[in-house]
Amino acid sequence: MAEKILRKLMLGFVQVYILNHASQRPVFGAELQEALGAYGHHLSPGTLYPVLRSLETKGLLTSAPKVVDGKLRVYYSATQQGKEILKQAQVMARKLCNSLTD
């Protein structure tokens, strides 16, 4: 039960992480999985790709398919709205994190 609750809470942070990386340069799913895994957040494709689609549906990401080494990859980039939301989320996250350590 606690694991499910923690996982759901972490998905909010994962969305901010995705927006952050997608605002710097186009990123693809497997790349995000690997990067998140380095921080101990192992997301299955069945979890990650619905999050990416949700962010895209909300207008925070755009996607662009590209063939790389004969394989189709979908690259995600933050939209202007996504970048604005990211800035707001970063401010809120800093405030929240600071309140946890006070």
Q: What is the DSSP annotation of 54-71? A: HHHHTTSEEEEEEEETTE
Which residue spans within 5-94 are E strands per DSSP?
Answer: 27-28, 61-68, 71-78
Phi, psi torsion values for 100, nearest 5 degrees: -75, -25
pLDDT at 98 over 90: no
What predicted TM-score, i.e. pTM, was given to this entire model?
0.86
Could you give all domains of the chain from N- to C-terminal order, each with its CATH number? 2-101 (1.10.10.10)
Angle formed at CA 70 by CA 53 and CA 79, multiple of 5 degrees: 30
**What is the Cα–Cα distance from 32 to 69, expressed in whole angstroms?**
19
Note the pLDDT tens digit of each residue in 8-67.
Answer: 778 888 999 999 999 999 999 999 999 999 988 888 999 999 999 999 999 999 999 999
